[in-house]
Each structure stands twice: as C-alpha cells, then as structure tokens.
Structure 1
Amino acid sequence: MRMTLRKLILVITVSIMAMLSQNVWADAFCPKPQGVDYESVECLVEGLARVEKNEQWGFVDKEGNEVVSPQYDDISDFSEGLAQVSKNGRSGYIDKTGKIVIPRLYDSASDFSDGLASVQKNRKEGFIDKTGKVVVAIKFHETLPFSENLAPVKYEYKWGFVDKTGDLVIDLQYDEAWYFKNGLANVRNKDKWGFIDTSNNTVVPFEYDDADGFYEGLAAVAKNEKWGFINTKGKIIIPIQYDRVSYFNEAKAWVIKDEQSFYIDKQGRVIND
C-alpha cells in the first residue's frame, strides 16, 4: 500500500523506540528461530517467522522447520491466520500451511485487521474478507485498517469512515483521518486536529497542530511544536512540553525533551531504569 507521511512517521517512531532498548526489545518482543541458515530471519509472529534466501521469502516455525519455502518476492507477517504474499507484482494470501487461500489478484494488499484487509487494484482501494469476497468496493484512493468496526477511507481529497458492510457512516469531510481507538478517532479539519466519536460528534475540539490516536486511554497532542497527552475527555493529563513522544505501551511512553530521551508513566513522572 502507499505510505503516507503520517504512516511513515509512525514507523520511524516505533523504530526509534526499538533501537533505544534494543537488547530488551529483541529478547522480549522479537523472538527468532535459532540455528537457521537464511540471509534474513525475522521475528516469530503467530508462531511463524519470515525468512529470505536468494531474494525470495518464505516461513519457518519456531524450531526452524521450513513451512513455506522461499518463493515469493515479498511477504508480510501472519495476521489473523493469513499472510500477504506477492510475486511478479501481484498479491494474495496464504494460510499457515502455505496454501493460497486468496489468489494473487491485487496490485498490493495489507494485513487483516478486524477480519478484513485492504487491497489495491488499478490504483483504487477497498476491503475483502477472509474468503476473498469484496465487502467494501474497490473505489477509494486510500484506506486505513479497520479498528472498532470502522475504517478511514479517502476519496479524491477528503476522508470519511465506512463500516464492514461498505456503508459510508461518516461522510467524506475531513482533510486527514486516523482509525478509532478507545471509541475516538483523530481527524484533521483544515490545519487543526481534534477527535470525533463513532457518531461523528466532536469530543475533543479542533485546536491541536497534530494528534495521534488513543493508546491505553491517553493520546499524544501537539501545539507549537511541543507534545503532551490528553485523556478521552480532552483534558490535558501530561503537559505539552516534549519535543517528541511515542504512544503509551505497558503504561509508559518514550519522550524527548531538551535533547534528552527517557520514559514517563501516565502521570508524567520519569521512569528510572
């Protein structure tokens, strides 16, 4: 799928977090099969790990047994029991035995989330279910994954939200949109961000220069190039004072202030290692 600037920023932030705590992260969150002979061995996800040999990709199990021989140009980790595979510019899905369960009909495809996956064909995007049935018409210019039964979709220059039947339940009206977390989605109207609920009621006013989604009940928001955190009522819980922040995970968030990086808890207190 095409990667927007917002998606790219999210990937970079998560990567920085991983590098800052590389050893702990690798042991706890990225277990890998041991004693395997491949050019690249990725993390075990849903019991299988991606491996590369001669620029082709396949899967091994946690003991290193080859489950899917390297044969694809690109593959994703398994998500909800299926993995996206690509060859010769066409994408489809396999199950954990390597059987193709959704043919390679698409120009690109994303991971399954909430039982549906976004696919792209002829520069348009929509959603399929695990049988390969198109449930949201392939007509949008961009999509994001389903979360809490809704997905952000873009047509021409505006974003809205569809449900799992393909109905547009929040009209195409926003300049940018992210997916729902804790019942709220961060959306941009002109140059300001706020939060709406699933009925399109404004819960947090459009007053922020940037905003990320809610994680563990808190969302990062920015004003004047500084970041802090609000709760689902819009109340500022952690003052807007940081140069960079991550989302909360296991009750802590990584932040940078005055060129110093460290972790804070949900009250904004520094966590000492």
Structure 2
Amino acid sequence: MVEFISPTAIETAQVMPEPLVFESATDFAEGTAAVRLGERLGYIDTTGQWVTTIADANVEVAGAFSEQLAVARAGDYHGYIDPSGEWAINVQFKQAKDFSEGLAAVQGGQKYGFINTQGQWVIEPEFALVESFTEGLAVVKQDGVYGYVNREGDLVIAPQFKDAWQFSEGRAVVKVDRQYGYIAPDGSIAIPLTFDGAFNFSEGLARVRQGQKWGFIDTQGEWVIEPVLDYASDFAEGHAVALQGGQWGYIDRTGEVAIAGEFDYAADFSEGMAAVQIAGQYGYINLAGDAVIPPTFQNAGPFAEGLARVRLESGWGFIKQDGTLLTAP
C-alpha cells in the first residue's frame, strides 16, 4: 500500500500566500506557460511572474512556445506570436502545428505544407495531411496514402502506406493492410509488418501489440519484453506504465515490476516524477515508487522545467516538486 510522505509542518502563525490559479494553462516550455485569467491571455515564467500579455485582443487560444514561436488562434484562423506577445507570422492558416526543426506544418487553403520561422513557404501546400518534422523527415499524405518528404520538400519515401508515423530513433511505424511494422530512413523495411499495433521507439524500445497483448521490441525487432501486458505506455526514464488486472503500475526495461500495480491510473515519468490516480484524485510518485505529493488534485500533468500543471477546485495551478503550489513572486 502506498503511504504518502507527510508534508513539512508549518507554524500556524505563518501566513501562506495564495496559489496562482488560472482558467486555462499549458505545460511549461522554453521558460514560460500560456495562461488565461479572465479576459487576460499571456505567459508566466517559472517564478509565477506574468511576463507577456498577448497584444491582439482577438486571440482566443495560444499554445506553448516552440523554437521561440507559439501557435495562436483568432477567430477561425491561426498564426504565430513571438515572446513579446506580438504577431510574428500573421493569422492566416486554417490549421497550424508547433515549429520543429525550423519548420511548421500549416494548412493553406485546402492543402497542407510547411513554412519557416519568417512565415515563408518552404514546402508548398500540396498535401492532404502532414505531420511535423522529426529526424529530418515528415509524414505526408497524398492520393490517400502516406509517405515522407525531406526538408527541401522532396518525396524521399514514396506515398504507399495506409498509415505512417513520425521517425523516432531511426525507425518509423507504418501500416499496410491491417499490419504494422517499421521502416528505416531510406524507406526500407527495418522490422517486418507483423504486429496488430505499434508505437514509436523511446529509450531503445517500442511497444507493440500481438492479438490483445502488449510487449516491447528493440530496434532490430527482437522481443525484449514478451507480449503479456493488457496495456503499456512508452518507456520514460527507465520505466513504462503497465496495466495488468485492471491496475496500473510500472515495469523496468527487463519487464520486471518496478512499481507495483496499485493505481487507478498512472502517467509517464518526467523529471523523476509521475502523476498517479488513487480514489479519483491525482498525486505524484518518484522513481522509487515513493508517494511524495498526496492525491489531492482533480487532474495532473507531467513535470516540465520543475513545475507540473494541476487541476484545483477553482482552476489550474502549478505545483513544484516539493509539493508546494506556485504563488505570485
């Protein structure tokens, strides 16, 4: 049974500052998080200081920064704002994704392509769907099937797959008929299409499904953890979430139980902590399985840059790894 570490006693005479609470919030990235407080939409830093207000009052939603630009929506269209809160790339796209490897996937008209950080088309909008660049390649859909382009827009892996995923650790999931396997960056089959489900590689292992059970393979396609799990997540910080018998726990890279399955839900580790659900509420455990932040939240996100987004009764706040909530500086 998990026992939560008691919080440090606080003298009753000490007045505690009120935690920062927002109507909406993103995880931290590049030093800031997007937040909304009433009609005010902008960004705070990791100290809780409000550092940017988005200048255009028509902006309804803004995301976290990626490569110093953040997607923002005004009405039915998207653009990109810079860290000062001004438009860096004017609102004009029906859909827009974060920048990755210097390019962003956007929808111009009815088709998708890629722009650079100046808002110029690098790959013209000629595809039915696209995904962001990873490892120098991007998934594109053309004539009902998927292939890959390079940063110059050349179709280096011809569209031929029923479905396809982004590259990770030199492998990408592809689907032909009803089976999944993995290709190499040159388009050759690296791991035969013999699986009923498959996900990206993470920390050298990928979760795959045979029948109704999940296991893990290495980049050569060899079984490392046999398919005996009801469900599993990707490996993160040496642990993977595993579902067995209706309870969530964690396994290590050998498939051995690292943290016993006694949670109603469990999330991936990040920065040495993972959110877990007990009796409908969320708290956090560490890599040893010690429960270090009691389950008092309605929802909880991953730690990023030392802070995790948590749902309080009154809205969204941020918690530190010592269990204290972020307050105004």
Say whether 1:240 aligns with 2:227: yes
Match of 1:167 in 2: 154
Say whether 1:96 aligns with 2:47: no
Asked if 2 retains the 8 angstrom alpha-carbon contact of 1:189 and 1:206, the reply is yes
Asked if 2 retains the 8 angstrom alpha-carbon contact of 1:92 and 1:100, the reply is yes
User: 2: CA distance between counterparts of 1:163 and 1:156?
Assistant: 18
Match of 2:50 in 1: 65
Deviation at 1:55, TM superposition (A): 6.0
Q: Deviations over 1:62-115 (max 9, x none)?
A: 332241248321111111111011101121111111121111111121101111
Greater relative contact order, per chain length (Cα 8 Å cut-off, separation 6+): 2
Say whether 1:142 aligns with 2:129: yes
What SS does structure 2 have at the residue aligned with 1:73?
A: strand
Say whether 1:120 aligns with 2:107: yes
Say whether 1:86 aligns with 2:70: no
Asked if 2 retains the 8 angstrom alpha-carbon contact of 1:60 and 1:68, the reply is no
Deviation at 1:56, TM superposition (A): 6.0
Match of 1:28 in 2: none
Deviation at 1:243, TM superposition (A): 1.3
What SS does structure 1 have at the residue aligned with 2:26?
A: strand
Asked if 2 retains the 8 angstrom alpha-carbon contact of 1:35 and 1:64, the reply is no
User: 2: CA distance between counterparts of 1:157 and 1:52?
Assistant: 39
One-letter amino acid matched to 1:242 = L
Say whether 1:197 aligns with 2:181: no
One-letter amino acid matched to 2:126 = K
Identify which of 244, 249, 253 aligns with 1:262: 249
User: 1: CA distance between counterparts of 2:110 and 2:228?
Assistant: 41
Identify which of 92, 95, 104 aligns with 1:105: 92
Q: Deviations over 1:232-254 (max 9, x none)?
A: 00000000011111001111100
Larger Rg: 2
Task: Give the structure-2-normalised TM-score.
Answer: 0.70
Higher strand share: 2
Q: Return 5+ residue gaps in structure 1 as ranges.
A: 1-22, 24-33
Say whether 1:228 aligns with 2:220: no
Task: Give the structure-1-normalised TM-score.
Answer: 0.84
The percent identity for this pair of structures is 36
User: 2: CA distance between counterparts of 1:55 and 1:86?
Assistant: 15
What SS does structure 1 have at the residue aligned with 2:209?
A: strand
Deviation at 1:61, TM superposition (A): 2.4
- Number of residues paired by the alignment? 242
What is the alpha-carbon root mean square deviation over aligned residues? 1.9
Q: Return 5+ residue gaps in structure 2 as ranges.
A: 5-17, 260-288, 290-329
Deviation at 1:38, TM superposition (A): 3.8
Deviation at 1:230, TM superposition (A): 0.3
Higher helix share: 1
Asked if 2 retains the 8 angstrom alpha-carbon contact of 1:209 and 1:223, the reply is yes
Asked if 2 retains the 8 angstrom alpha-carbon contact of 1:227 and 1:240, the reply is yes
Moved more, 169-178 or 139-148: 139-148
Asked if 1 retains the 8 angstrom alpha-carbon contact of 2:95 and 2:106, the reply is yes
* Alpha carbons of structure 1 residues 42 and 198: separation in structure 2 relative to 1, 3 Å: closer
Match of 1:218 in 2: 205
